[in-house]
Structure 1
Amino acid sequence: MNTRTLVVAGHGMAGGRLVEEMLARDRAGRWRVLVLGEEPRPAYDRVALSSLLDGATPEELTLTGPEVTADPRLRLLPGTRVTGVDRAARTVSCADGSRAGYDALVLATGSRPFVPPVAGHDLPGCFVYRTVEDIAAIRAAAVPGRDAVVVGGGLLGLEAAGGLRSLGMRPQVVERAPWLMAQQIDEGGGRVLAGAIGRLGVRVHCSGMLHAVGAGPDGRAARVELADGTVLAADLVVFAAGVRPRDELAGPAGLDRGERGGFLVDAWCRTADEQVFAIGECAAVEGRCHGLAAPGYRMAETVAGQLAGGTAAPFAGADASASLKLLGVEVAGFGDAHAREPGAVEYVREDRRAGVYTKVVLAADGRTLLGGVLAGDTRGYPVLRALTGRELPAPPEELLRTGG
């Protein structure tokens, strides 16, 4: 039996899941797996990065156990960045000068933080929020009682603000959208969230356009300047304003990109080259990138099923539903939370005194649940999410009153 070589470029959460799936499915040992990971450590739980600011260790976040790393079918090389792909020769080249041949190649290069290209964005005291090393640098620079600004009011930005607050700093959040977590929840939910974290001492500046980061006498970041003239004191600045797919290998390799970046792949995560796949945040599946861990896991399963045999199903899209607790505030969004379907009807109940907001979105028939938003109290989330796409068992007014 001829053993084939699978090269995996990247060992983040999606790449790590692919390795696990391949080793579990390929019982006959038809493949050997070579993993080239840019970071200096095996795959870890990036979703739990903020726990490092609360005292967790990098080892506690590790996703790759000894049963995987000790498998003789696997060769894992952390700290090895892939710099080129020669599709004709079926080889990849690395930053250290090495080359490796492949029978199949999976690009799992992930994404990079987006840093607004404003003056001062690269001053000492400015950080991104992406890796274990980023969090260690932020923790080392944090000074209790000093001011910090987080640029980005999405999930990652609010986690960063919570982490800085736990370190004793005074964080403020700048978000260019009209409300916080604009992708997951609506304006009403964002208002409740902003009010609740404001009462914790975290000031929020929505519709805030970053103009520049200013330096102090020591040359380090000292303030953040907004386009409307607002100036915020900032001894430390964290950029958590989204990510961009790491697709720089595409052009030189002659691989297509999606309209908004990412390696363009079909529903089976295949590029136009049948030996090259892409998964995770770097993959534009039928033109769309997905920035969450769960879709990356499903892409990994799709590819492993094709390579190792057994069951395989195409990637069927991502469910962006989420129930979270940010700075102690419960928020959830599910389904068509923004009522984008034509004819959709919104039913809202808000108790401003209690800080609770509930919205359900129904189809034009007035009976089918399309989605919703919960803020301040998410106890009804499991029931409402399960009802999505189905006819409601009770009038919407009753669901709003009981929270599901």
Structure 2
Amino acid sequence: MSRKQRVVVVGNGMVGHHFVEQITSLIKPNTGVEVTVLSGEERLAYDRVHLSEFFTGKTANDLALTNEQIYTDWQVRFFTNAKVTDINRVKQQVTTSGGVTFDYDKLVLATGSFPFVPPIPGKDREHCLVYRTITDLDAIKHSASSSKVGVVIGGGLLGLEAANALKQLGLETHVVEFAPQLMGVQVDNGGGRLLKDKITALGVQVHTSMATEEIVDGDRCRYKMCFKGGKTLETDLILFSAGIRPYDNLAREFDLAVGERGGIVINNHCQTSDQNIYAIGECALWNNFIFGLVAPGYAMAKIAAKHILFNNSDDAFFGADMSTKLKLMGVEVGSIGDAHARAPGARSYVFDDQLAGVYKKVVTNQAGTRLIGAVLVGDTSDYDNLLQYHLNDLALNAAPESLIFPLAPPPDTVSITDLPADAVICSCHQVTKHTIEQAVLSGANDLVDVQAITKACTGCGSCENRVNCIIEHSLAITKAQPQQLSDEVLIPVTELA
């Protein structure tokens, strides 16, 4: 009897766990595959997307994506506090900091990323923290209990989430950003200006174009931050959230190819420069790009699992859409595609209602016939509609400004029937319109049923409205003429997820 193929997964974040979900769902009984998970943290995978809810009452157990019983039921071996420190590529073994060695046939690096802390003198003081893990959140809570003022260094997405956490803990909260605007990656100057105004109105003081040069003892608070130009700001607690860096140290130490600016180089099947080692998620560099969202990581996990089990070259990773919709401190923000209108010939159409606190911009190609980007701040009700135009490259049947101007004729809206069967509705789990329709044909009657079968809307949740629309539309058709839903063969319920 031949021995089992040994698959070892290093890292048990959201993407690492999704890989485990995918490969165990594909393994048929008695096919001879053994999956081992090595988690560097003291706990198994948890939801980092909703990490800030830890400060509104959710516990570590509430955020957990799995537990020991689930992995046991899946016949997955797992070890916590098992940080890998050595890879022997010749013997195909990994060794943890505790000295335990594991043999592998295929190794999956899902080590994620770590917070970047700028090289500021004084950054290593006791109440200078980062915002990344549940352990970090515990440290923040402890520090906040003896603090009155808190400062976040970094005004990106994670920085604003960290600021919200400090505000919820009752601290006078400041955000310090080196760039001239907040969320410079996702929104343009106009959106950044409104975002700053809204967050300031909520009681968080925002300082842009500020470079921290040193952290010293304070006069009234625990510390004093000294900025270029002579300005200072006193605080008791400092949270660094100035971006992330790929956790690629294992690749560097054991001669796997890495990018010039970091990241483990992978091909379209998520293989590294060693064909027996894969990398997925925020540690991976594909086409000189690192994807900092969970949905691309999930896509990599699925592709790597299929390639390991079946050597399947048909499924490949060709990049991912980086559009996102979120709510920061109650402020709605949406970013789609080429939000900064950088493509040659790009045209922008802007609606800016300063009284209502709403900023909207759509970006089209030069001809104005295709939507290639959008920015929404203060009102993201148009997000789902705009996203489908962008993802499916649908022709605009009306003037582009009608998509966002409330005083224009009714907006040109993508109907369910306009969407192709392969339109991706849930980006996190790559669930298409057709898959949702098939779930309804298979007996799903509501969102809960569809979630159980397809996993649609179980990630970030931003697709809920569109999923519900497809469910309602599909239910209506099944009552009339079921054959109109799709010309494709009905997929068994067990295969949809």
> Which TM-score applies when normalising by structure 2?
0.78
For residues 90-109 of structure 1, the aligned pairs below 5 Å read 90-109=92-111
Q: Report the Cα distance in structure 2 between the residues aligned to 1:72 and 1:80, rounded to whole angstroms.
A: 20
2:77 to 67, 75, 91: 75
Q: Report the Cα distance in structure 2 between the residues aligned to 1:251 and 1:321, rounded to whole angstroms.
A: 31
For residues 338-377 of structure 1, the aligned pairs below 5 Å read 338-377=340-379
Q: Report the Cα distance in structure 2 between the residues aligned to 1:353 and 1:65, rounded to whole angstroms.
A: 49
1:36 to 35, 38, 56: 38
> Is the CA contact (8 Å cut-off) linking 1:369 and 1:392 kept in structure 2?
yes
How has the CA–CA distance of structure 1 residues 78 and 171 changed in structure 2, closer, same or farther, with 3 Å as cutoff?
Answer: same
Deviations 1:38-89, CA, capped at 9 Å, x for gaps: 0000011111111111121001111114553213631100100101111111
2:58 matches 1:50: no
The letter of the residue matching 1:274 is Q
Local SS of the residue matching 1:197 = helix
Partner of 2:293: 292
2:23 matches 1:19: no
2:136 matches 1:134: yes
Aligned-pair CA distance for 1:230:
1.8
For residues 380-395 of structure 1, the aligned pairs below 5 Å read 380-388=382-390, 389-395=393-399
How has the CA–CA distance of structure 1 residues 221 and 96 changed in structure 2, closer, same or farther, with 3 Å as cutoff?
Answer: farther
Deviations 1:266-318, CA, capped at 9 Å, x for gaps: 11100121111001111112322111111111110011111223976111212
Local SS of the residue matching 2:216 = strand
Deviations 1:94-134, CA, capped at 9 Å, x for gaps: 11111111000011111111001101111111110010000
The letter of the residue matching 1:396 is P
Partner of 1:201: 203
> Is the CA contact (8 Å cut-off) linking 1:258 and 1:288 kept in structure 2?
no
Q: Report the Cα distance in structure 2 between the residues aligned to 1:60 and 1:22, rounded to whole angstroms.
A: 25
Q: Report the Cα distance in structure 2 between the residues aligned to 1:310 and 1:270, rounded to whole angstroms.
A: 11
Identity of aligned residues (%): 44
Q: Report the Cα distance in structure 1 between the residues aligned to 2:261 and 2:271, rounded to whole angstroms.
A: 18
Any unmatched runs of 5+ in structure 1? none
Partner of 1:277: 278
Q: Report the Cα distance in structure 2 between the residues aligned to 1:245 and 1:310, rounded to whole angstroms.
A: 27
Q: Report the Cα distance in structure 2 between the residues aligned to 1:274 and 1:320, rounded to whole angstroms.
A: 28
For residues 133-282 of structure 1, the aligned pairs below 5 Å read 133-143=135-145, 146-216=148-218, 221-282=222-283
CA RMSD of aligned residues (A): 1.8
> Is the CA contact (8 Å cut-off) linking 1:208 and 1:226 kept in structure 2?
yes
Q: Which has the higher strand share?
A: 1
1:399 to 384, 399, 403: 403
Local SS of the residue matching 1:33 = strand
Q: Report the Cα distance in structure 2 between the residues aligned to 1:226 and 1:266, rounded to whole angstroms.
A: 43
> Is the CA contact (8 Å cut-off) linking 1:129 and 1:238 kept in structure 2?
yes
> Is the CA contact (8 Å cut-off) linking 2:179 and 2:208 kept in structure 1?
yes
> Is the CA contact (8 Å cut-off) linking 1:143 and 1:169 kept in structure 2?
no
2:120 to 115, 118, 126: 118
Q: Report the Cα distance in structure 2 between the residues aligned to 1:252 and 1:147, rounded to whole angstroms.
A: 40
Q: Which has the higher helix share?
A: 2
Larger radius of gyration: 2
Aligned-pair CA distance for 1:145:
7.6
Local SS of the residue matching 1:84 = strand
Local SS of the residue matching 1:398 = helix
The letter of the residue matching 2:388 is A
The letter of the residue matching 2:395 is E
The letter of the residue matching 2:188 is D
2:340 matches 1:305: no
Q: Report the Cα distance in structure 1 between the residues aligned to 2:25 and 2:242, rounded to whole angstroms.
A: 37
Q: Report the Cα distance in structure 2 between the residues aligned to 1:54 and 1:139, rounded to whole angstroms.
A: 12
Aligned-pair CA distance for 1:147:
1.1
The letter of the residue matching 2:256 is L
> Is the CA contact (8 Å cut-off) linking 1:359 and 1:372 kept in structure 2?
yes
Local SS of the residue matching 1:70 = helix
Higher relative contact order by CA 8 Å / sep ≥ 6: 1 or 2?
1
The letter of the residue matching 2:282 is E
Partner of 1:316: 318
> Is the CA contact (8 Å cut-off) linking 1:209 and 1:227 kept in structure 2?
yes
How has the CA–CA distance of structure 1 residues 310 and 83 changed in structure 2, closer, same or farther, with 3 Å as cutoff?
Answer: closer
Aligned-pair CA distance for 1:223:
2.2
Aligned residues: 403
Q: Report the Cα distance in structure 2 between the residues aligned to 1:72 and 1:146, rounded to whole angstroms.
A: 47
Aligned-pair CA distance for 1:30:
2.0
Any unmatched runs of 5+ in structure 2? 412-497
Q: Report the Cα distance in structure 2 between the residues aligned to 1:66 and 1:86, rounded to whole angstroms.
A: 28
> Which TM-score applies when normalising by structure 1?
0.96
Deviations 1:375-398, CA, capped at 9 Å, x for gaps: 111111111111113322221232
> Is the CA contact (8 Å cut-off) linking 1:126 and 1:237 kept in structure 2?
yes
The letter of the residue matching 1:252 is E
Q: Report the Cα distance in structure 1 between the residues aligned to 2:229 and 2:63, rounded to whole angstroms.
A: 41
Moved more, 384-393 or 192-201: 384-393
Moved more, 301-310 or 3-12: 301-310
> Is the CA contact (8 Å cut-off) linking 2:218 and 2:234 kept in structure 1?
no
Q: Report the Cα distance in structure 2 between the residues aligned to 1:114 and 1:145, rounded to whole angstroms.
A: 24
The letter of the residue matching 2:402 is E
Aligned-pair CA distance for 1:142:
0.9
Q: Report the Cα distance in structure 2 between the residues aligned to 1:401 and 1:272, rounded to whole angstroms.
A: 50
Q: Report the Cα distance in structure 1 between the residues aligned to 2:356 and 2:148, rounded to whole angstroms.
A: 31
Deviations 1:135-181, CA, capped at 9 Å, x for gaps: 01101111488111001111111011111111111111011122111
Aligned-pair CA distance for 1:34:
1.1
How has the CA–CA distance of structure 1 residues 135 and 145 changed in structure 2, closer, same or farther, with 3 Å as cutoff?
Answer: closer
